[in-house]
Amino acid sequence: MPRNDYISTIVKPGHRFVWGLLLLLSFLFIQGLLPRLALVILFALLARTAGKRIKFSYFIILSSSIALFNLLTPWGEVLYSLGGFDITRGALIAGLTKGITISGLVFVSLFSVSRDLQLPGRFGRLLGRSFYYFESLYSHKRKIHRRSFFSDIDGILLDLFPSDHEHDSGTRFLKTTPLGVMVILLSFGITGAIALWM
């Protein structure tokens, strides 16, 4: 788990996933640019609490470019004219709403999906084994240097695979604490308040 993933210490991975899905449904149900923007800010805070690094510049550029592409098809009242190019209210609001919605979907995913989320069945076990190997590789990260990248990697790979050892995918015991339940309820309370404001 990321070093500063505070959510994982209070909410079980499965509960966290369901929490995210329910917030996602509320998010898509709520219409309007400002309420959605408010929820996106909430989701960004939750993603930061989950220890995820967010490049805000990336999301600002993404939302702006979606809005820009939308403006190429004029729609509604003309707000401003730049040369021959009309900035229309309908196209601007629709573009910004779309950009903000896409950013919100990513933020929900960032905080609700954790590496400890166990996928079911044979594929889930295969993924667990893959994460076991990933942890082993990651523990050798400091041995890799840019100048000797390939020989460093080759040495590590020769050490780790194929291995004669049986391994354990290392599932941790995780549970949702009373504080976790309170945080989940609080997030739904804020979402409800935003829905009422709408």
Window 161 to 180, contacts with another protein (CB under 8 A): 161-162
Residue 114's nearest CA partner among 196, 40, 172 is 172
Task: Establish if 30 lies at the interface with another protein (CB under 8 A).
Answer: no
Is the separation of the CB atoms in 137 and 160 below 8 Å? Answer: yes
Among 41, 64, 76, 129, binds another protein (CB under 8 A): 129
In whole angstroms, the minimum distance from the beta carbon of 155 to another protein comes to: 9
Task: Rule CB under 8 A: choose which of 29, 80, 85, 138 binds another protein.
Answer: 138
Token digits for 100?
């903000």
d(CA 109, CA 103): 10
* Cβ nearer to another protein, comparing 63 with 194: 63
User: Based on C-alpha coordinates, what's the Rg of the chain?
Assistant: 22
Measured from the CB of residue 28, what is the shortest distance to another protein in angstroms?
12
- Do residues 107 and 40 touch, judged by C-beta distance below 8 A? yes
For 113: left if phi > 0, alpha if psi spans -120 to 50, otherwise beta; the answer is beta
Site membership for another protein, residue 114 (CB under 8 A): yes
Q: Does 49 bind another protein (CB under 8 A)?
A: no
Per-residue contact flags (x/-) with another protein for residues 59 to 98, judged by CB under 8 A: ------xx--xx-xx------------------------x
In order, the DSSP letters of 50-100 are TT----HHHHHHHHHHHHHHHHTS--SSEEEEETTEEEEHHHHHHHHHHHH
Q: Based on the shown chain and the rule CB under 8 A, indicate whether residue 20 belongs to the binding site for another protein.
A: yes
Interface residue list for another protein (CB under 8 A): 17, 20-21, 24, 47, 50, 52, 65-66, 69-70, 72-73, 98, 102, 105-106, 108-115, 117, 119, 123, 126-127, 129-134, 136-138, 141, 144, 146, 149-150, 154, 157-158, 160-162
